Amino acid sequence: MDMKISSAAAAGAFTPTKIGMIKQDPSVSDVPMEIVTLGVSRGDKPATKDYAVTDSVKANADGNYVLDPKTDPTGFASVNVLANLQTGFDTFLPYCDADKTPATWWTLGPKQLNIYAFDRKDEPNAFFNPMPFVDHGHIVKAGTHFGVFNDPVTKETIYAAHSGEVTGHEGGPGHATLHRFRPNYMRSANSEVRAYHEAFGDVSAMLTQLKNPAVLDAVARQTNGDLSKHNAISDLGEQFGVAINNYVVAQGGPKDYTGGGFVRTAINDLKWADPSTLPDRPDPKHPEQLSSEAHDFSRLWTGAVYSILGQAVKDRMANGEDAKSAIGNANEDLLKIYGKLTSNTSPEGDFGFADMARAMVKADSLVGTKLGPIITAEMTRREILPQSMGLRDDEDLTLPSGSYDVNFSFSGKEDAFKGTQLENLGGFSMTAPQSGQPSRSLLEDDHSEAKSTLASDIARLARQGKVLFTTPDQKPADIGMFDKDNEPYAAQVTWVNGQARIEPVMIMG
């Protein structure tokens, strides 16, 4: 399939160039590899207007990059990420408010987001980091990074970068795009903020994938409009998920670590619960049970949005639309809502899922898609919104906004900190209690509740194993920024003049 994608990058130094890409997942045969045309700065390290490959790639004789993933797996990995990120970003950005779209990926960063398509050796993982960090003494530059590992059962070398879904989750749109609009989220210790970041990666990949004609065709065939059936977009990273399960078992871990033949699935019936009342870590034997761990808790929001999509499809089919039209049109409505939500109505700092649900209803009212009743009903059914909410499409919602750094004395008694000499929590972003309120120091007495909440949030991260503890003679960079499950830490302990501080780790996996 040869699909042309219009891009401003086609002008100037950017030449219209064909790139072979897997938009979906290598194991999803219903969506074959396709060829897209993008504006590319050609060479051994090709780049588009928003993304840049960092490893050498050998182009075809005609200057294009239609590569074979079997015979040139690393070259294909690089250009597959490049094409997926650019097409995903180009698909999502028009739905966002132009006047609220930051010009670059981050304030002090480069115009183009760097791609490291296979730099994480023997790691079943992928991640986005908006600033460089040091891991085991090596500098890890800012960008999107993808793991390479061997499936111990199939003996196949698995490249996370070969999956369009995994790449979309990280940066096209994914984590990188959300960070571009809401950079404070990555500085939060709040369970629901971190979970929303993960859910955004899954949901944005799902919605932009459905704009691809081949993916839409496949989903319509697989479901006939009944999205309760597992399909190409409901299950994220099929090949990657199967290989992770095999990898975990080989390492002595539990079977079916991810819950099935995927990294995650959007098909669930999970209900909201206060993260402070949930287990700190997920139980692979009980996928129906939420934990407060970010990836696991994210399934609630992803499942809710997917159910909203499914109900919107049902309503359209009841009004005479065929399955393909109903799925495509319902998805179009959700993309309009999500673009407005991301760029306009979403909270600026810390929030709960209920705040984001209200912001989603507000976004719907602004774009006129009239899905507010469906959104409210599903968010209420999942107990994200209370039964008494009674939201109207035209309701004026006051949402949290503003953020400031935290630096205060910690004297909590949570078990996670017993025996650990910690005096400060620094650099974490919190939200002003009222919309529009100027930033103030959390040392003020009237912020005692915010201080207590932050302390509890960080204690929860510690119990989850997401805080990298060090002693005064250790540097986090020498120990490594990833835990035993190859997931990035959320926070780290650093020492300055004999005083310990807990600081955020700016990595999202």
* Among 152-161, 225-234, 429-438, 480-489, the least confident range: 429-438
Instruction: Check residue 402 and give its pLDDT.
Output: 37
Mean pLDDT, the chain, whole residue set: 85
- What phi and psi values does residue 213 have, to the nearest 5 degrees? -55, -40
Long-range contacts of residues 306-312, Cβ cutoff 8 Å, at least 24 apart: 306/203, 306/206, 306/227, 306/234, 306/266, 306/267, 307/378, 307/382, 308/334, 308/371, 308/374, 308/375, 308/378, 309/227, 309/334, 310/226, 310/227, 310/228, 311/374, 311/377, 311/378, 312/371, 312/374
Beta strands 138-140 and 143-150 are: unpaired
According to DSSP, the residues that pair with 408 across neighbouring strands are 425
Rounded percentage of the chain residues whose pLDDT exceeds 70: 84
Rounded percentage of the chain residues whose pLDDT exceeds 90: 63
Instruction: Check residue 393 and give its pLDDT.
Output: 42
Is it the case that residue 431 has pLDDT exceeding 50?
no
Is it the case that residue 474 has pLDDT exceeding 90?
no
Is it the case that residue 406 has pLDDT exceeding 60?
no
Dig out the tokens for 177 from the structure.
């795009």
Helix, strand, coil shares, percent, the chain, to 5: 40, 15, 45
Residue 482 DSSP label: B
Is it the case that residue 59 has pLDDT exceeding 90?
yes
Is it the case that residue 5 has pLDDT exceeding 50?
no
Three-class DSSP category at 407 = strand
Is it the case that residue 276 has pLDDT exceeding 50?
yes
Half-sphere exposure (Cβ direction) of 119: Cα atoms closer than 13 Å: 20
Is it the case that residue 491 has pLDDT exceeding 50?
yes
Per-residue pLDDT of 432-473, as tens digits, reads 333 333 333 333 334 456 666 777 888 888 888 898 988 888
Instruction: Check residue 462 and give its pLDDT.
Output: 84
**Angstrom distance (rounded) from CA 243 to CA 262:** 9
Q: Are 354 and 346 in contact (CB under 8 A)?
A: no
Of 327, 321, 335, 336, the closest CA to residue 368 belongs to: 336
Length of the chain: 509
* Average pLDDT of span 425-429: 50
Per-residue pLDDT of 111-123, as tens digits, reads 899 999 999 999 8
* Average pLDDT of span 76-97: 97
Residue 341 DSSP label: I
Angle at 418 between CA 412 and CA 421, to 5 degrees: 80
Is it the case that residue 293 has pLDDT exceeding 90?
yes
Half-sphere exposure (Cβ direction) of 48: Cα atoms closer than 13 Å: 31
Three-class DSSP category at 197 = helix
Instruction: Check residue 350 and give its pLDDT.
Output: 85
Of 396, 400, 395, the closest CA to residue 373 belongs to: 395
State the pTM of this model.
0.89
**pLDDT higher at 382 or 443:** 382
Instruction: Check residue 387 and give its pLDDT.
Output: 79
**Angstrom distance (rounded) from CA 374 to CA 21:** 35
> Which range has highest mean pLDDT (131-140, 257-266, 322-331, 437-446)?
322-331
**Angstrom distance (rounded) from CA 240 to CA 120:** 14
If one counts every other C-beta atom within 10 angstroms of the C-beta of residue 383, the result is 15
* Average pLDDT of span 494-498: 79
